């Protein structure tokens, strides 16, 4: 399971925007739909949740490009875990899935 370290600038990043620009690559745009039945619209809607929980930067496993994690409520009311990166100010989602029981408890606390 991936591990994250909290970073304050990510929280500030979310608080400073009321609109986000998303960039999807062809593989990631369908990966979550096929694997977890979570479409891109639901993943994008998580970034508008006013109770978004920024987990921080992924420290394990390591990746060349920095990855970040959030837990947030999607537009359909489901609580999702979303992994993403940021490129030139755009959010580039990597994957989204239904949050685990532990992740939902953290979000709802």
Distance CA 61, CA 53 (A): 20
Distance CA 21, CA 15 (A): 15
**Comparing C-alpha atoms, which of 46, 38, 12, 14 is closest to residue 98?**
38
Q: pLDDT 10s per residue in the chain (109 long)? A: 688 887 787 777 777 667 789 999 888 888 889 989 999 999 999 999 989 999 998 988 888 889 999 999 999 999 999 999 999 889 999 999 999 999 999 999 9
pLDDT at 61: 86
pLDDT at 62: 84
**Comparing C-alpha atoms, which of 97, 83, 70 is closest to residue 15?**
70
pLDDT at 6: 75
- Measured CA to CA in angstroms, residue 82 lies from 28, 41, 48, 76 at distances of 12, 12, 13, 15
pLDDT at 44: 96
Contact status, residue 83 vs residue 94, Cβ threshold 8 Å: yes
pLDDT at 92: 95
């Amino acid at each position: 399971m991936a591990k994250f370290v909290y970073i304050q600038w990510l929280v500030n990043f979310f608080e400073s925007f009321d609109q986000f620009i998303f960039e999807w690559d062809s593989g990631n745009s369908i990966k979550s739909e096929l694997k977890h039945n979570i479409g891109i619209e639901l993943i994008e809607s998580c970034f508008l949740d006013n109770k978004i929980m920024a987990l921080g930067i992924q420290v394990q496993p390591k990746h060349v490009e920095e990855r970040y994690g959030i837990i947030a409520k999607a537009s359909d009311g489901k609580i999702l875990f979303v992994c993403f990166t940021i490129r030139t100010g755009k959010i580039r989602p990597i994957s989204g899935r239904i949050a685990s029981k532990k992740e939902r408890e953290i979000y709802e606390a």
